[in-house]
Amino acid sequence: MFVRQLNHYSKIAWDDQTRDFYSVDSSSYILKPAVVAFPRNERDIIMILRYATKNKISVTARGAGTGLVGSALGKGIILDMMHLNKIKVGPGYFEAGSGVLKGQLDKELEKRGRFLGPDPSVGPFCTIGGMVATNASGSHSLKYGSIIDNLIQVTIARSSGSVITLPNESGISRKILKLLKPEIQLRFPQVSKNSCGYRIDKIKAKSDLQKIIVGSEGTLGIIISAKLRTFRLPKEKLLTILAYKTMKNAVSEVPEILKLGPSAVEIIDRNIVKHVNMRISRKPNCLLFVEFDENLTENKKNIQKLTSGKIIKMIADEGKIKQWWSIRNLALSYSLKSISKEEIMLPAIEDATVVVEKLPVLLNVISKLASKYKIKVIVYGHAGNGNLHIRPILKRGNSHTIKKIASEFFLKVISIGGSITGEHGDGLARSEFVKLQYGSEVYSIFKKIKKEFDPKNILNPDKIVTRKTTITKNLSLSRL
Ligand SMILES: Cc1cc2nc3c(=O)[nH]c(=O)nc-3n(C[C@H](O)[C@H](O)[C@H](O)COP(=O)(O)OP(=O)(O)OC[C@H]3O[C@@H](n4cnc5c(N)ncnc54)[C@H](O)[C@@H]3O)c2cc1C
């Protein structure tokens, strides 16, 4: 049994309990691995990769397992990166092992008055490796960018076991640059957030080559460490909570609000609002959270002048601001509270992104799908980035329609210039639609990139580049 040999290279576990634990992440998929390895350092990773390549066994890296699309699940070896947990903070940047938890990093940065821009709603629980591998972002990415806008350098182990730091001048860098043609830019959605496929649109020069790893979901290399830039913590903030009669009213106002330079613009619909403890007589159908972290006096006046929504709160107290953000960040849990035992929450279409001017069109697409398939839909998300988390609720007996609904939805999103995923990535839920998003020319470049980094296809196979349909395979209805 190969697991016994692996034991020479790293601490491993293959008992049923461990394998069951690692057979799920925060998605609705389930896939039981053969063995879980806990590398202590770079050397362990190299040895495992050499062994896996020689024996053609798949290797899937795992951070904290908070991913929502099944991208950290695999049949072969799972690499839990928890021991790569060192942090070095420098002026304007930090360098962290891939297993560092965001919460651990936040504390270190806060001591120095700094923070990392991308702030997923899952908060402190995700890892740096997972964030880089999914191009994570959050509410404040509106002002501070996604991971792809902040990554300075990344060190990875390729499937051969060779370790490289990108950007660099190596042979692989030259080969990747040769594959990129200016016209491929046009095949990429012109949106502010995109976690679909390999982000070659962001590679303009050799100095951008680290970006090939961003959003690559462990398919090109195992991230050992990453260097990212940091920002100075804002001295003051103003959070404005605006209430609207309809979601459409709210999103139609977003382009004008963006002109004021907010640090975050987030939206929740009535399904989430009903859980908010507010002392007002009738709960609104929709709330918009608009935060500023500079020019507060001016912005306070500007937002009052601009909005047609009802201002229900203007908060400057940091503690209270945090409380309101926790409501927004709990939107997924509140959504789960809204479904009965006879219903399931459909995965896969939860993360589309369009340009903000197209948000009303995206809402139309959603309501048409809802009436066609007789589904209830919960919507919340990063309105300022045009990135909506759409949570369709359907009757358990109708689960066979999942792929149909997803395919129809993705076609519409692409037809209005959007991305099928703004932050969560492709994973088991969306990899089969990557070709639909970009067309065959770009997709064939993705295949060449995959081959260049991982010629034997052992790194997280069937994620991003795949011939298989995985959207419903391995879905666990009891986890929906
Ligand atoms: C309640 C909730 C809210 C969320 N909100 C957001 C949000 O606002 N924004 C957002 O972007 N995401 C959000 N997510 C999704 C998730 O938190 C992010 O995708 C996060 O970046 C995943 O990090 P992780 O460490 O848990 O990675 P995992 O789930 O363990 O892995 C995710 C992917 O990264 C790969 N990976 C992990 N480590 C490495 C490594 N060292 N080398 C190579 N590949 C690696 C895995 O193979 C997998 O493909 C949310 C999730 C939940 C449950």
Residue 433 pLDDT greater than 70, yes or no: yes
Total of domains in the chain: 2
- pLDDT digits over 66-95, tens only? 999 999 999 999 999 999 999 999 999 999
217/197 Cα distance (integer angstroms):
9
CB of 351 closer than 8 Å to CB of 120: no
Residue 477 pLDDT greater than 80, yes or no: no
Q: Which CATH number fits the domain that encloses residue 137?
A: 3.30.465.10
ipTM above 0.90, yes or no: yes
Q: Which of the listed residues 85, 126, 224 should we mutate to test ligand 1's pocket, taking the one with most ligand atoms within 8 A of CB?
A: 126
pLDDT band at 341 (very low <50, low <70, confident <90, very high): confident
Q: Both 92 and 147 in a single domain?
A: yes
62/31 Cα distance (integer angstroms):
13
Type of residue numbered 328: R
Q: Both 254 and 269 in a single domain?
A: yes
The reply to whether 465 falls in a domain is no
Q: Both 91 and 223 in a single domain?
A: yes
Of 336, 352, 383, which one is at a domain's C-terminal end?
Answer: 336
Among 123-127, 130-134, 181-185, 368-372, whose mean pLDDT is lowest?
181-185
Mean pLDDT of 172-192: 93
403/429 Cα distance (integer angstroms):
10
The reply to whether 416 falls in a domain is no
Residue nearest to atom 37 of ligand 1 (CA): 130
Q: Both 154 and 197 in a single domain?
A: yes
pLDDT reported for residue 280: 66
pLDDT reported for residue 102: 98
Q: Both 303 and 221 in a single domain?
A: no
Mean pLDDT of 329-333: 89
- pLDDT digits over 414-425, tens only? 999 999 999 999
Residues 179, 184, 190: CA angle, nearest 5 degrees: 140
pLDDT reported for residue 1: 55
Mean pLDDT of 163-172: 90
Q: Both 316 and 181 in a single domain?
A: no
Q: Which CATH number fits the domain that encloses residue 274?
A: 3.30.70.2190
Of 336, 369, 384, which one is at a domain's C-terminal end?
Answer: 336
Q: Both 161 and 280 in a single domain?
A: no
Residue 119 pLDDT greater than 60, yes or no: yes
Residue 40 pLDDT greater than 80, yes or no: yes
The reply to whether 292 falls in a domain is yes
How remote is the CA of residue 297 from the centroid of ligand 1, in Å?
A: 37
pLDDT reported for residue 182: 86
List, chain by chain if needed, residues with CB within 6 Å of any ligand 1 atom: 25-26, 60-68, 71-72, 81, 98, 120-122, 126-127, 129-131, 133-134, 136-138, 217-218, 222-223, 332, 423-424, 460
Q: Residue 119: phi, psi to the nearest 5? A: -135, 80
How remote is the CA of residue 131 from the centroid of ligand 1, in Å?
A: 5
- pLDDT digits over 437-460, tens only? 999 999 999 999 999 999 999 999
Please name the residues in contact with 313: beta carbons below 8 A apart, sequence gap of 6 or more. Answer: 239, 240, 241, 324
The reply to whether 174 falls in a domain is yes
pLDDT reported for residue 480: 61
Mean pLDDT of 90-114: 98
Structural domain range at position 289:
238-336
- Mean model confidence pLDDT for the chain: 94
Q: Both 163 and 111 in a single domain?
A: yes
Closest ligand 1 atom to residue 99 Cα is: 41
